Structure 1
Amino acid sequence: MAAQYDLLVIGGGINGAGIARDAAGRGLSVLLCEKDDLAQHTSSSSTKLVHGGLRYLEHYEFRLVREALIEREVLLGMAPHIIWPLRFVLPHDEGLRPAWMLRAGLFLYDNLGGRKLLPGTESVDLTRPPHRDILEDRLKRGFAYSDCWVEDSRLVVLNAMDARERGADIRTRTEVVSLTRGASSWTAVLQDSAGNQEVSARAVVNAAGPWVDNVLSSAIPGKEHRNLRLVKGSHLIVPRLYDGEHAYIFQNGDGRVLFAVPYEYDYTLLGTTDERFEGDPNDIAISDHEARYICDAMNEYLKVDITPGDAVSSYAGVRPLYEDNSSSDSTVTRDYVFELDREGGAPILSIFGGKITTFRKLAEHALERLAEVGLKGRSAWTSTAPLPGGAFAADGVARFRAELGKRYPWFPARGLTRLMRAYGTEVFDILGNATSPADLGHHFGSDFYEAEVRYLREQEFAVTAEDTLWRRSKLGLHLSAVEQQAVADWLEQTLA
């Protein structure tokens, strides 16, 4: 007999993982299927910001910005280990948006979402250090404001972990290859390395991101499904361009904005682009044109010029935006849209668009829509529930780091900070009662040991070296090719 669930969630990005967590916490039986790894596509390819979206104010998306600004501090409270405040400096440049417009927009940004934890906007003299030595001499003044940084792929993984703890069945590398609608339930055929399996569910959430229309075509054949505009966003990672922990947001002449963000201690993250994408979402890479665009934009502002050849790494992803027929790819809405179909039987709810910052509210709204068609659970609960590792106050990070230093004084200081920022209180499950590096097993390089690899494999759904070194962490930037291959070999041997 086929396994039965209340809800089948298709897609292991941030929307799918967030909905699975919320639904499981309401007492529903949940199965999440992701055809690849968690966050393998769009949800690991963002600029890694929890933010309101300052430029969306220009497009009058006040509801989206307000919701995102409120959520910014909710998420900071839920996961202070992987989300932390970041100060942004916005230079005023003659000939672009006037200073009064920037000031007015930032005033609205400060007040629209009921900011409580983050400092507000202030004017900045760019002719003084540190900016004087970083920015072009023509830039005299600007503004500093607050948003937050997020480890985007880890946010997905932590939601999936919490969903599992609350009873959800999380299956990675498992594709839903067919959906058949019945009067009161769906029958789904799942395919993984072991073969095919049939399950049933009272409702389906289609959170397949760039593949959402494909899933709809499988579930509801005979109808045309063209709801998405795929927009590629690409980023470059270059050796660190400036000292300091602040980020920059630069206006470009085409009306877009680009970011320069301190990244992984030794690097600066640069991006992003907006480019229509019509290829295979499984095969995405930055184009030469995009790399040049990013460098040219940065060179307008930074004293030290860069070229695409300076990049040590890059990444690209596609945003599955709702097709609102906007003339520009940079102005198409970033808001989320639901399509609930229950014609002829069991319901399917499809998710279009959305932002990392609003995933939790999106999940709440999705469960509200499903409750309307009979899939009712307990009441909303996620706004005050920390994610795994996040059960400490947002203003208690320094105290927690000091506690770790006292308990593990023998571990490299930078590595201990990395572990705290990745795992929060779960770091004790990795380091445990160890009293020296020898207690952590094989040393792969840098501050990466066998104990951490085992934790990632056993607790965080990691299977391959790419899962481990590029999504659960960014250690791929810090380990040599030989060291990375050693991780791959270890995983292959232990999984054999």
Structure 2
Amino acid sequence: MTQETQTPQFDLLVIGGGINGVGVARDAAGRGLQVYLCEKDDLAQHTSSASTKLIHGGLRYLELYDFKLVHHALQEREVLLRSAPHIIHPMRFILPHHKALRPKWMIRIGLFLYDHLGGRKLLPSSNGVDLKNHVAGLLLKERYSAGFEYSDCWVHDAKLVVLSAMDAEARGATIRTHTRCISLIRHGKHWCATLKDERDGGTFEVQAKTVVNAAGPWVEKVLSLGINADETHGVRFVKGSHIVVPKLFDHDYAYIFQHTDGRVLFAIPFEHDYTLLGTTDIELDKLPEIVAINQGEVDYICRAVSEYFRKPIDPESVVWSFSGVRPLYDDAASNASKVTRDYNLHLDQRQAPILSIYGGKITTYRKLAEEVLDMLSECMKIEGTAWTSSSHLPGGDIANGNFGLFLSQCSRRYPWLNKKLLLDYAGHYGTCIHQLLDGCASEADLGDHFGGELYEREVRYLITYEYAESAEDILWRRTKQGLRLTAEEVGKLENWINSNSKASG
């Protein structure tokens, strides 16, 4: 890449393309700021695609007296559900009562607070259940005869990041993936950032009045890029891993299981044919080059979940696993499971401002972004006000948020599309399905079939509109078709992407 003759200037440089970074970029662009976001890898490639796929208040945080976090998360649960009803769905959770752990009265109080702390309007309230006569109880061991049922939401986490980036770009932001910030220098009242294109190694510069450091696990590394920033506040690296196994049950309920070590684990319906199990909490001394599950974590998850299910979970049945490092704000908690999942924002206003984000969780990303912009409003003289609480993400403008009705309408509009593919497209793209299928009148119009439910039309759409560049981007972040493609089929997709990128280049 050649050096640009004139350095582009922006109001805001956001470093990091995870959920917090794209949330800030979107909010800022909607307030009229000129925004540039750089991400060294793919969007959501690290922590933001390694969550438990939930938009939730965090029931277990009540036990840690983190009422503020639960309150904000429960409020956001319904805001996000309204904004993206295609990728966020209500889900009912079954909590079996473990007599040796928390007493029933404590769980009832916790669920009462959970029902009322966030001003719940869209989701049904909690209730007790007789597991001996409940479809979700049939798979559990006999000793779990009673339990509770409550509501939270499932989310396609990586897609939430991508849609937020798309909306930011639609509002004028520049989104650059595979672009690493390698130098950050204050020059009076502006920043000069040197960026490196990881594809070809070329470097270039941009200037910005303000920087938001949303680098997640790398937040302190960004602060060490020679900018003479204030002392860092500290990040604790906690690895969380999940496993995916063939479907354990046919009903639509998810489970939350209490474990003897004080943690909770989830068993969640996943991608129609699978069950997602997790997670772990392992504190790391430093950030590893490669984050991956180890056998001890696999055994832990299988053992903990097998305490509840009649049929034990065999570690050999794992078909996929994923791990991520949560960059939690260091609140001096002795146990990794007790470290707050709330965020901390640190603003350094010496000359050109830089705001660094520590911690956070996917459920509160919109609220975090709003708070970031409010903190910057005075020093940046931002005239635009908060707006995202009543907005939709791309594809989320479904009438009354009624996904079932929307699906029926799509079925009538595209009668040639098989039901499985229709559900997949409607659930991934919402109203953008019409853009995806524009000009198609039969499945033959979808082009090459790469395996599973993946066709050329979708691949082209993901590359054109959703920043996908590789087979991994498409198979594991934009979709989960990687669960269904063989190694030979993955190779076919990679060859297609390589040949088409050369042709377009």
- Does TM, normalized by the shorter one, top 0.5? yes
What corresponds to 1:250 in structure 2? 257
- Matches of 1:36 and 1:394, distance apart in 2: 36
2:472 pairs, out of 462, 466, 472, with 466
2:27 pairs, out of 16, 22, 33, with 22
- Matches of 1:374 and 1:174, distance apart in 2: 25
- How big is the shift at 1:438? 1.5
Q: Is the 8 A contact 2:453 2:481 kept in 1?
A: no
- Matches of 1:67 and 1:97, distance apart in 2: 25
State the AA in 2 paired with 1:357: T
Q: Is the 8 A contact 2:136 2:251 kept in 1?
A: no
For the structure 1 residues 412 and 153, does the alpha-carbon distance in structure 2 shift closer, same or farther, using more than 3 Å as the test? Answer: same
Normalising by structure 2, we get a TM-score of 0.96
1:43 pairs, out of 19, 26, 48, with 48
- How big is the shift at 1:404? 1.1
What corresponds to 1:434 in structure 2? 440
Residue 293, structure 1, aligned to residue 300, structure 2:
yes
Q: Which moved more, 1:26-35 or 1:219-228?
A: 219-228
- Matches of 1:487 and 1:135, distance apart in 2: 41
State the AA in 2 paired with 1:473: T
Q: Map of 1:84-123 to 2, 5 A cutoff?
A: 84-123=89-128
Q: Map of 1:445-484 to 2, 5 A cutoff?
A: 445-484=451-490
- How big is the shift at 1:279? 4.1
| CA RMSD of superposed structures (Å) | 1.2
- Where 2:221 maps in the other structure, the secondary structure is helix
**Percent identity between the two aligned chains:** 56
1:173 pairs, out of 178, 182, 186, with 178
- Matches of 2:466 and 2:423, distance apart in 1: 20
2:417 pairs, out of 401, 411, 431, with 411
Specify every segment of 5 or more residues in structure 1 that has no aligned partner in the other structure, as ranges: none
- Matches of 1:289 and 1:352, distance apart in 2: 28
- Matches of 2:378 and 2:52, distance apart in 1: 35
- Matches of 1:323 and 1:331, distance apart in 2: 11
Partner deviation per Cα, 1:51-76 (whole Å, 9 max, x = no partner): 00001011111111001001100000
- Matches of 2:392 and 2:225, distance apart in 1: 36
Specify every segment of 5 or more residues in structure 2 that has no aligned partner in the other structure, as ranges: 1-5
- Where 1:190 maps in the other structure, the secondary structure is strand
Q: Which moved more, 1:290-299 or 1:401-410?
A: 401-410
What corresponds to 1:372 in structure 2? 378
How many pairs are equivalent? 495
Partner deviation per Cα, 1:287-324 (whole Å, 9 max, x = no partner): 11111110110010001101221100000001000001
- Where 1:46 maps in the other structure, the secondary structure is coil
Normalising by structure 1, we get a TM-score of 0.98
2:322 pairs, out of 315, 321, 343, with 315
- How big is the shift at 1:280? 3.6
Residue 241, structure 1, aligned to residue 219, structure 2:
no
What corresponds to 1:154 in structure 2? 159
Q: Is the 8 A contact 2:81 2:88 kept in 1?
A: yes
For the structure 1 residues 67 and 132, does the alpha-carbon distance in structure 2 shift closer, same or farther, using more than 3 Å as the test? Answer: closer
Q: Is the 8 A contact 2:72 2:118 kept in 1?
A: yes
For the structure 1 residues 126 and 222, does the alpha-carbon distance in structure 2 shift closer, same or farther, using more than 3 Å as the test? Answer: closer
Q: Is the 8 A contact 1:203 1:375 kept in 2?
A: no
- Matches of 1:20 and 1:288, distance apart in 2: 38
Q: Which moved more, 1:485-494 or 1:228-237?
A: 485-494
- How big is the shift at 1:449? 1.1
- Where 1:201 maps in the other structure, the secondary structure is strand
Q: Is the 8 A contact 1:43 1:152 kept in 2?
A: yes
- How big is the shift at 1:395? 4.4
- Matches of 1:483 and 1:171, distance apart in 2: 29
Q: Is the 8 A contact 2:240 2:280 kept in 1?
A: yes
- Where 1:462 maps in the other structure, the secondary structure is coil
- How big is the shift at 1:441? 1.4
